[in-house]
Amino acid sequence: MKQIIVSLLVCVSSLTIKAQENSLNEALPTDKSIIKGVLPNGITYYIKKTDVVKGAASYYIIQNVGSILENDDQQGLAHFLEHMAFNGTESFPGKGILNTLQKNGAVFGKDINAYTSFDETVYNMNNIPTKDGLVDVCLTVLRDWSNKLLLTNEEIDAERGVIKEEWRTRQNGQMRLFEKSVPISYNNSKYVQRMPIGLMSVVENFDYKTLRDFYHDWYRTDLQAIAIIGDIDVKEVEKKIQEKFSGIQAVKNAKQRFVVDIPGNEKMQYVLGTDPEISSASISLGIRHNVWKEETAGDLKRGLLESIALSILSERISELAQKPTVSFLSARVLDSPLSRTKKAFNVVITPKPNQQQEAFGQVLTEIIRAVKFGYTASEIERAKENIRTAYENQIAAKNQKSHASIENQIQENFLTNAVITDIDKEYGIAKELLAGITNEQLHTAIKGFYTKENRFLIVTGVEGQQNLSEDQANQIITALENSSSIEPYKEELAGKTLMSGTEIKPGTIISVKRDKKTGASTFYLSNGVKVHYKFVNKEKNQVSLNAISDGGISLLKDADLPSADFVSNLTQMSGLGEFNAAELKKVMAGKTASVSLGLSDINESVSGRSNTKDVETMLQLIHLHFVKPRFDAESFKVMQSNINNYIVRRSKDVGEKMRDSLTLALYGKNNPREAIFNQDYADAVSFEKIKQIYKERFADISDFEFFIVGDVEEAQLKPLLEKYIAGIKTENKKEKYLDNESEWLSARIDKDIFIEMKDPKTVVNMIYRKEMPYSIKNTIYSSVLGKILQLRITATVREAEGGAYSPSASAGFSREPKSRANVSFSFDCNPDMADKLVAIVNDEFKKIAEGNINDEDLNKIRTNLLKEKEQSKDKNSYDMQLITKYYRYGEDINDPKNFEDIVSKMTKKDIQLIAAEILKGGKSYEIVFKPKLKV
């Protein structure tokens, strides 16, 4: 009988194991809402209907083509070709694509763009209205991007300068060090010679045929997918795709689309890089491993295991970094993609000055601790709860997923055959998998990352310091891997909740006032606090809170300003209530709620975010910030280390030198409200002063006006307000800010500043400002002026002259503390062209002030403003803006007379007048940074 029972148990056990194996081999459920098809010529198409942006759609073409496919004489041409797609196609010669889309409200760079990487090139047109035949127009653009680029000699030559300036803009110490590290991270594979920006010797000199050969070889139907996502009729769009794209001929005898692998290595590879413009060290240990596809439930389990293993390890290292005695400022672990076939387990460390060896050892100790002993039960449960919450938030917001997020999934499906899963069904599987995940499985997962093979170490060193050498790194690794003194991780945080040790005496809501115009309600609390609230569920499961109080640093003494800069930093680093920052993160496991504080020139503010379920947690956090803030002396020491490292880091950084020089040119050496961030400034930061400033600025919650918008019903919210907001004692003090803004040294500042830099470039900064009465019209007209200037300098400085890659123009109107219009320009450029380009910018501004405004430009801006206003109404943030402006300033942004009517009726004369007013009697500066010539 006993033998029969044993046999039965063995049989049942084997059947259970077999069933588990079968379930893990099941394919993941796919998202049926995305339509996928393949045309006879090989083009893949995807269609997804969503009204997340009503009356609009986004269009993408994904080319399975990147710089890795270039020949030696084509280095940089995959990226060059991407630029040429905007410079003439069969249906849209010249700048026809941009002009057509801009007339319908799209903005180049924001709505119309593209990128090129090692392995793919992707073009996008986002949030284009679906009216007036624009679906057909955008499909025609996609078709032309597929195989109808003109690639004229004239346009190719014109674009060479733009590409050169893009390269120039990116050149700095960090880029030079990155280029030095690439042979190590990519193990001397072909990727090393195929940086997407390419070689300027090729860009400046390639034959036209070389670019056209690359285009005809690789821009072809079997390597292309199009995606249409938005508020569209799926069947109608699918029919249009079939009609418009089926006629494109597949390439016969096409070249093989090869995939480059990164070879393995047994011995750890090492590189040390230094640069005269880099003054702080970093260490990156990488371990390459194969990319695997997530197709089955078993793959999903592997993904969950790896995610949990890395998240717990990250939490441990983050906790360690909060101790002032450690040798590193920050460290993180992540699993990063390198190529189609490889990812890398990366450990990135920022050591304290001259402590590279110690920092490397301390962080590596934590990794080896996890590799040797795995994780604790409490750590694992918190990580599981965070994953469950993340799934639930995704499911609640699945109908609000952005076009770009959907496209990312589509792109991965096309390029790597990754499954686009049904998130609801995936979560059902994930819940079962999470329930069965054990420490043993997680232990195996982290050990899978930490292999002996395929290691590489990249050290960014500092000249004159004791940089981590290859021998030292190997000795540290060997010693720690063989150490018997490393012990399992321990933690103590049992049974505590966020509000542990906090007693609350609730208040009441004494009255409620409804507003029909905005649909908002105002709750008047017993402690004097006003809360304006509006239920909005355009974006489901999202709740936002803002609270504003006048005053800010304008009310502080000059000597307090350095400390004021770090009030929010220290409070965030210190934790809250009974818990330090590491403990607080653990207590908040599984919660979706956050609160941050701000201290600006004229305001102090509180911002909160949560899902619907965790609104109470968000309000608890706010309660504790006012009642039980935490100021941790150990955290202050950590912050001081970060400040000191920042001073070291910026000492040789060209961009920081420019910022300091700009400040000195505008305000002089001894302006305490515009001080240079140097050691004297850092030494003035005081722990006690930060506490004092916090308690002054955030002393009285009744001086704050609260705004709450989102997917939370009034019945849920009101008792929480009574408990956590009305339950805070108040003094009913009301403050006003002071207008003590620093003035420039003179009304006109025109200065060339020469700075040493390894890669010469000129950086132009120009601003015009003029104080004038605030009005809604002035605000709108200023914005329009900036947008017209952007069109003009893009056409002249970038396109006509090829002088800058991304020249920026903007204009706006500030209400407080001074009512003032501002116009600004900035760009990097070739030093030889700087004076000419500055003259062009000034000339374009003057032309507008003289009335030289194109009707087409004005109409493009008009259409864009009306489109973006309409599309913004689909977001909860629109209603936050609505009630904030309404209650603080008496403006109703819903009223057409405050926007739509002004925009629809504005004329060229309106823009001319405000441009002329800004130029007449206003202030300006023109500060141009130029490379100092070496003698």
Q: What is the pLDDT of residue 20?
A: 53
**Are the beta carbons of 707 and 520 closer than 8 angstroms?**
no
- Report the 10 Å Cβ neighbour count for 52: 22
Q: What is the pLDDT of residue 206?
A: 98
pLDDT, one tens digit per residue, over 831-854 is 999 999 999 999 999 999 999 999
Q: What is the pLDDT of residue 496?
A: 81
CATH architecture of 509-725: 2-Layer Sandwich (3.30)
Within 8 A by CB and 6+ apart from 241, the residues are 39, 45, 47, 139, 226, 228
Q: What is the pLDDT of residue 492?
A: 77
- Give the whole-number percent of the chain exceeding pLDDT 90: 95
Q: What is the pLDDT of residue 491?
A: 85
Q: What is the pLDDT of residue 10?
A: 40
- Report the 10 Å Cβ neighbour count for 734: 11
pLDDT mean across residues, the chain: 95
Token pair listed for 285: 């240990």
Q: Which residues pair with 927 in a beta bridge?
A: 751, 765
CATH architecture of 34-246: 2-Layer Sandwich (3.30)
Residue with tokens 């200065």: 751
Residue 501: strand, helix, or coil: coil
Phi, psi of 379 (to 5 degrees): -60, -45
- Report the 10 Å Cβ neighbour count for 356: 27
Q: Report how far residue 194's alpha carbon sits from residue 664's, in angstroms, rounded to the nearest whole number.
A: 42
Using 50, 70 and 90 to split pLDDT, how confident is the model at 19?
very low
The runs of H, that is alpha helices, within 148-279 are 153-170, 173-185, 200-205, 208-218, 234-245
Q: What is the mean pLDDT of residues 488-513?
A: 90
**Are the beta carbons of 254 and 152 closer than 8 angstroms?**
no
Work out the end-to-end distance of the chain between its first and last CA atoms, rounded to an integer number of angstroms.
99
Q: What is the pTM of this model?
A: 0.94
Q: Which of 873, 865, 875, 924 is nearest to 900 (CA)?
A: 865
**Are the beta carbons of 711 and 545 closer than 8 angstroms?**
no
- Give the whole-number percent of the chain exceeding pLDDT 70: 97
**Count of alpha carbons within 13 Å of 816, Cβ hemisphere only?**
13
Using 50, 70 and 90 to split pLDDT, how confident is the model at 933?
confident
pLDDT, one tens digit per residue, over 776-833 is 999 999 999 999 999 999 999 999 999 999 999 999 999 999 999 999 999 999 999 9
Q: What is the pLDDT of residue 494?
A: 65
**Are the beta carbons of 499 and 674 closer than 8 angstroms?**
no
Q: What is the mean pLDDT of residues 190-204?
A: 97
- Report the 10 Å Cβ neighbour count for 881: 16
Whether the bond into 337 is cis, omega within 30 of 0: no
Residue 500: strand, helix, or coil: coil
**Are the beta carbons of 243 and 43 closer than 8 angstroms?**
no
CATH architecture of 748-931: 2-Layer Sandwich (3.30)
Give residue 133's region: left, alpha or beta (phi > 0; psi -120 to 50). left
Q: Which residues pair with 227 in a beta bridge?
A: 46, 60
Q: Is the pLDDT of residue 660 over 70?
A: yes
Under DSSP, the state recorded for 492 is -
Q: Is the pLDDT of residue 934 over 90?
A: no
Q: Report how far residue 691's alpha carbon sits from residue 635's, in angstroms, rounded to the nearest whole number.
A: 13
Within 8 A by CB and 6+ apart from 253, the residues are none
Which fold, 269-482? Cytochrome Bc1 Complex; Chain A, domain 1 (3.30.830)
Q: What is the mean pLDDT of residues 643-665?
A: 95
Q: What is the mean pLDDT of residues 874-889?
A: 97
pLDDT, one tens digit per residue, over 353-406 is 999 999 999 999 999 999 999 999 999 999 999 999 999 999 999 999 999 999
pLDDT, one tens digit per residue, over 304-323 is 999 999 999 999 999 999 99
Using 50, 70 and 90 to split pLDDT, how confident is the model at 22?
low
Token pair listed for 69: 């496919």
| Burial class, 193, CB count within 10 angstroms (exposed 0-12 / middle 13-18 / buried 19+) | middle
Q: Is the pLDDT of residue 24 over 50?
A: yes
Q: Where in the chain is the domain with CATH 3.30.830.10?
A: 34-246, 269-482, 509-725, 748-931
Q: Which residues pair with 827 in a beta bridge?
A: 764
Q: Is the pLDDT of residue 18 over 50?
A: no
Using 50, 70 and 90 to split pLDDT, how confident is the model at 699?
confident
Q: Residue 96 to residues 81, 89, 128, 155: CA-CA distances in angstroms?
A: 17, 8, 16, 13
Residue 571: strand, helix, or coil: helix
Q: Is the pLDDT of residue 495 over 90?
A: no
Q: Report how far residue 918's alpha carbon sits from residue 766's, in angstroms, rounded to the nearest whole number.
A: 14
